[in-house]
C-alpha cells in the first residue's frame, strides 16, 4: 500500500512527527536564519555583470564640461526660490527654454488625510516643470527621464543646476535616439507621483493633477538626482522602491561601471564597498549592507523619487551626493560625466531592460544574491508553521472526534470575527476619527492618528477577556478540553503561513523579517505553561514591536544608535508616515499589518488566554 494510505505506516509516521516535532521545528528555524546569514558568503553571493548586450562592453567618452554653468544655474535657482518661497516656475520655464528644450508645466493638488507634522502641510498644491529634448532623427517613441525632486527648502538646488547644465550639453549632441525629459517636481515625491499619474493617464492615489500637455513616449529608464552641495565626496545609490520593488539589476550595474570608470567613490546604503570577499571582514561588512537593504525594502517606503517610477515598471535609481569630511572631493563635472555616460549607454537600448534580475539582494555594490538562492531562507521559516500545524492536526485526529458536536466546546472560530473587526478598526478608525479626537483631546491631528492607532492596538490585547465571557456560561465538554484552542491555533497557523508566504513572494524582506519574529512565538503559544512569559514574548514579537525593534536595528547598523526616548519618537513618526504614505502613494505596509497580520497575531493572543 502507499505510504499515507496504509494505516499502520500512517500511525508510525504520525508518531514520528509528533515525537520529533519540537527538534524539527527548532532545526528548521535555525536553518532558515543560518541560510540568511550565509547569503553574504560566496558562492551564494555572486559578482554582478552586465547582462544587456546593447549596453555592452564598450565605453563612451564623456565630454561634459559645464561645471561652472551648473553652479551658476544653481545659484540663480536658490536665489529665486528664496525670493518666491515656492518653486520658481517662471524662471525655470525661461531657463529651460533658453537651453533649448520644449517646456511644459503641470499643476497638481492633494488634500492629505491628516496634516503632516514633519513637513507641515495639509492641502498640498504645486507645479511641476519639465522640458523635453526631442531626439533629432528618431520618432518620439521612447524616452529617458532625469528628475530632480525639490522639497520645500533649497537643499536640492545644486541638482537643479546640474540638470540644466546637462540639458544644455545634451541639446548640442545629435546621437540621441530617445527623447530625454528633464523633470523638476515640487513637494518631492508628491509632485513626482502627480506627474507619473498624468503621464500614464491613471489615477491610483486620488491626486488631482492637470493633464500633461507634452508627452515623450514610453519611459525606458529614469534617474533621480539629489545633490545638496556642489562638491561631493561620494555618490550614494538607492534602489529600494515603493512596496519593496527593485529596478532591474542592469541599471545598477551600469551605474557601477561608470563609478569605476570615473574613479568616483560610490556607496550603497551609505556604506563603502568591501574589497576583500575571501576573508571574514568583507562578508561581515556585506552582512551589514544586506541587513540595511532588508530593512529598507521591508518598510515599503519609496526611498527617493525612483521608488514611484517602479510602479509603472520604469527602471529607476536615485543618486544622492554625500559631502562628508573626506579629503578627496569630486565636483559637478565628475557627477555630470557619470550621468552623461549613463544616459549615452541607455540611449543604445533597443528594448526595455529585461535581461538581468528583477528580484535580488545586495550585500555590496558589485555583489548580488539572486532570488533562487535567498528564497529557501523564508521557506525554512515557514516550514516551522507547517510542521506545527501538522502536529496539531494529528493531535486533533488522535483525540478522534470531528469538530462538530452538539453542545460542544466553545467553537474555535469564535475569536475570528472580533479579531478581524479589530484589524478593520485599526485600519479605518485613526484617520476617520482624527477630528473627533482633536476636539476632545489637546493634540494635533497627526498625533491623534498615531495615538488612536496605539490605543486600538493595545485594546486588542483585552480581546480574550471579552470574547470568552459569554462562553463561560456554556457547558464545557470535559472530553476534550484542549480541542478548542488547538483548532483555533491550527487555523491561526495556517492563516499566518499563508499571509507570510504571499508577502514573501512579492517582498521577501518584509516576509522574512516578520517570519523571524512571529514564527517562534506563534509556534510556542498555548494556554498551558508559563503564561506570563509567553505573553511577554508574544507582545515583543507583535508587528508593532517588530517595527520598533527594526528601527533600532536600522539606526544601529547605520552607526547612529538611538536612545530609548529618541527611538520612541522615531517610532511614532514612522507610524504616522506609514499611514500617510498608504494614503498618498498606495504603500501597502499599513494595510498588510493592520488588516492581515494584526488579526492573525490576535488569534495567537486568544490561544494564549484560552480558558
Partner 1 sequence: MAVTDSLSRAATVLATVLLLSFGSVAASHIEDQAEQFFRSGHTNNWAVLVCTSRFWFNYRHVANTLSVYRSVKRLGIPDSHIVLMLADDMACNPRNPKPATVFSHKNMELNVYGDDVEVDYRSYEVTVENFLRVLTGRIPPSTPRSKRLLSDDRSNILIYMTGHGGNGFLKFQDSEEITNIELADAFEQMWQKRRYNELLFIIDTCQGASMYERFYSPNIMALASSQVGEDSLSHQPDPAIGVHLMDRYTFYVLEFLEEINPASQTNMNDLVCPKSLCVSTPGHRTDLFQRDPKNVLITDFFGSVRKVEITTETIKLQQDSEIMESSYKEDQMDEKLMEPLKYAEQLPVAQIIHQKPKLKDWHPPGGFILGLWALIIMVFFKTYGIKHMKFIF
Q: Which is nearer to partner 1, 176 or 605 (CB)?
A: 176
Q: Where along the sequence are the contacts to partner 1 (CB under 8 A)?
A: 53-54, 56-61, 135-138, 173-177, 344-345, 347-348, 350
Return the C-alpha cell found at 172.
548640442
**Any residues with CB less than 8 A from the CB of 76 and at least 6 apart, and which?**
91, 95
Question: Residue 58 Cβ, how far from partner 1 at the closest point, in Å?
Answer: 4
Cis ω before 43 (30° cut-off from 0): yes
Q: Give dist(CA 217, CA 257) in Å, integer.
A: 27
Cβ closest to partner 1, residue 348 vs residue 583: 348
Q: CA 245 to CA 254: how far, in whole Å?
A: 19
Residue number with CB closer to partner 1 (349 or 385) = 349
What minimum distance in Å lies between the beta carbon of 118 and partner 1? 44
Distance, CA of 496 to chain centre: 20
Instruction: CB nearer to partner 1: give 220 or 318.
Output: 220
Beta carbon of residue 581, minimum distance to partner 1 (angstroms, whole number) = 40
Considering beta carbons, is residue 56 or 561 the nearer one to partner 1? 56
Integer Cα distance of 239 and 598 in angstroms: 29
Nearer to partner 1, 12 or 54 (CB): 54
Determine how β-strand 142-150 pairs with β-strand 179-186: parallel
**Which CB, 132 or 265, lies closer to partner 1?**
132
CB 66 within 8 A of CB 59: no
566 alpha carbon, distance to own chain's centre: 23
Which lies closer to partner 1 via its Cβ, residue 142 or residue 240? 142
Minimum Å gap between C-beta 331 and partner 1 is 22
Under 8 Å between Cβ of 88 and 77? yes
- Least CB distance to partner 1 at residue 179 (A): 11
Report the nearest approach of partner 1 to the CB of residue 178 (Å): 9
How many Å apart are CA 593 and CA 570, to the nearest integer?
18
User: What is the residue whose three cell numbers read 492637470?
Assistant: 210
Q: Shortest Cβ distance from residue 344 to partner 1 (Å)?
A: 7
Residue with cell 476619527: 433
d(CA 171, CA 158): 20
Q: What number of other Cβ atoms are within 10 A of residue 429's Cβ?
A: 17
Alpha carbon of residue 507 to chain centroid: 8
Q: Give the residue with the Cβ less far from partner 1, 5 or 58.
A: 58
Ramachandran area for residue 316 (φ above 0: left; ψ -120 to 50: alpha; else beta) = beta
- Paired residues of 225 in beta bridges: 319
Q: Give min distance, CB of 174 to partner 1, in A.
A: 6
Write down the least CB distance from residue 219 to partner 1, Å. Answer: 18
Q: Quick one: 106 exposed, middle or buried, by C-beta within 10 A (0-12, 13-18, 19+)? A: buried
Amino acid at each position: 500500500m502507499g505510504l499515507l494510505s496504509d494505516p499502520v505506516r500512517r500511525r508510525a509516521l504520525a508518531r514520528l512527527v509528533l515525537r520529533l516535532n519540537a527538534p524539527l521545528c527548532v532545526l528548521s528555524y535555525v536553518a532558515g536564519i543560518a541560510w540568511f546569514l550565509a547569503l553574504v558568503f560566496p558562492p551564494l553571493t555572486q559578482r554582478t555583470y552586465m547582462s544587456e548586450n546593447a549596453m555592452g562592453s564598450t565605453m563612451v567618452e564623456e565630454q561634459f564640461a559645464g561645471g561652472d554653468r551648473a553652479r551658476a544655474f544653481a545659484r540663480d535657482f536658490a536665489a529665486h526660490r528664496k525670493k518666491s518661497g515656492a518653486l520658481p516656475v517662471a524662471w525655470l520655464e525661461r531657463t529651460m527654454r533658453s537651453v533649448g528644450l520644449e517646456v511644459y508645466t503641470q499643476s497638481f493638488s492633494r488634500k492629505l488625510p491628516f496634516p503632516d507634522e514633519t513637513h507641515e502641510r495639509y492641502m498640498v498644491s504645486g507645479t511641476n516643470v519639465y522640458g523635453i529634448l526631442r531626439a533629432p532623427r528618431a520618432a518620439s517613441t521612447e524616452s529617458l527621464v532625469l528628475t530632480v525632486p525639490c522639497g520645500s527648502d533649497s537643499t536640492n538646488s545644486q541638482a537643479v543646476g546640474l540638470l540644466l547644465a546637462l540639458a544644455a550639453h545634451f541639446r548640442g549632441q545629435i546621437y540621441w535616439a530617445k527623447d530625454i525629459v528633464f523633470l523638476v517636481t515640487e513637494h518631492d515625491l508628491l509632485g513626482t507621483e502627480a506627474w507619473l499619474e498624468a503621464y500614464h493617464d491613471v489615477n491610483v492615489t486620488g491626486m488631482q493633477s492637470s493633464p500633461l500637455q507634452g508627452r515623450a513616449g514610453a519611459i525606458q529608464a529614469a534617474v533621480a538626482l539629489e545633490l545638496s552641495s556642489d562638491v561631493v565626496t561620494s555618490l550614494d545609490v538607492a534602489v529600494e522602491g515603493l512596496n519593496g520593488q527593485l529596478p532591474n539589476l542592469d541599471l545598477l550595474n551600469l551605474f557601477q561601471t561608470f563609478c569605476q570608470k570615473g574613479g568616483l567613490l560610490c556607496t550603497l546604503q551609505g556604506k563603502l564597498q568591501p574589497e576583500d570577499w575571501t576573508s571574514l571582514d568583507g562578508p561581515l561588512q556585506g552582512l551589514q549592507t544586506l541587513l540595511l537593504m532588508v530593512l529598507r525594502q521591508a518598510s515599503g517606503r519609496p526611498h527617493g523619487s525612483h521608488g514611484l517610477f517602479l510602479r509603472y515598471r520604469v527602471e529607476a535609481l536615485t543618486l544622492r551626493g554625500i559631502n562628508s569630511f573626506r579629503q578627496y572631493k569630486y565636483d559637478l563635472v565628475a557627477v555630470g560625466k557619470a550621468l552623461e555616460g549613463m544616459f549615452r549607454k541607455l540611449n543604445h537600448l533597443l528594448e526595455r531592460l529585461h535581461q538581468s534580475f528583477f528580484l535580488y539582494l545586495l550585500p555590496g555594490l558589485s555583489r548580488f544574491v539572486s532570488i533562487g538562492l535567498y528564497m529557501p531562507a523564508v521557506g525554512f521559516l515557514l516550514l516551522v508553521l507547517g510542521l506545527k500545524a501538522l502536529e496539531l492536526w494529528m493531535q486533533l485526529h488522535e483525540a478522534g472526534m470531528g469538530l462538530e458536536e452538539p453542545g460542544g466546546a466553545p467553537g474555535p472560530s469564535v475569536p475570528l470575527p472580533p479579531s478581524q473587526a479589530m484589524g478593520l478598526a485599526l485600519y479605518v478608525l485613526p484617520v476617520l476619527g482624527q477630528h473627533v479626537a482633536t476636539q476632545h483631546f489637546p493634540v494635533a491631528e497627526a498625533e491623534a492618528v498615531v495615538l488612536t492607532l496605539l490605543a486600538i492596538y493595545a485594546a486588542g490585547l483585552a480581546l480574550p477577556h471579552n470574547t470568552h465571557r459569554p462562553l463561560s456560561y456554556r457547558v464545557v465538554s470535559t472530553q476534550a478540553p484542549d480541542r478548542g484552542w488547538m483548532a483555533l491555533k491550527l487555523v491561526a497557523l495556517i492563516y499566518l503561513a499563508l499571509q507570510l508566504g504571499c508577502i514573501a513572494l512579492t517582498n521577501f524582506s518584509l516576509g522574512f523579517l516578520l517570519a523571524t519574529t512571529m514564527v517562534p512565538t506563534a509556534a510556542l503559544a498555548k494556554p498551558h505553561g508559563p503564561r506570563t512569559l509567553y505573553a511577554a514574548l508574544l507582545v515583543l514579537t507583535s508587528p508593532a514591536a517588530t517595527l520598533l525593534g527594526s528601527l533600532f536595528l536600522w539606526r544601529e547598523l547605520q552607526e547612529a544608535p538611538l536612545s530609548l526616548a529618541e527611538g520612541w519618537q522615531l517610532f511614532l513618526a514612522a507610524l504616522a508616515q506609514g499611514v500617510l504614505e498608504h494614503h498618498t502613494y498606495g504603500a501597502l505596509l499599513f494595510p498588510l499589518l493592520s488588516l492581515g497580520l494584526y488579526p492573525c497575531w490576535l488569534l495567537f493572543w486568544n490561544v494564549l488566554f484560552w480558558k
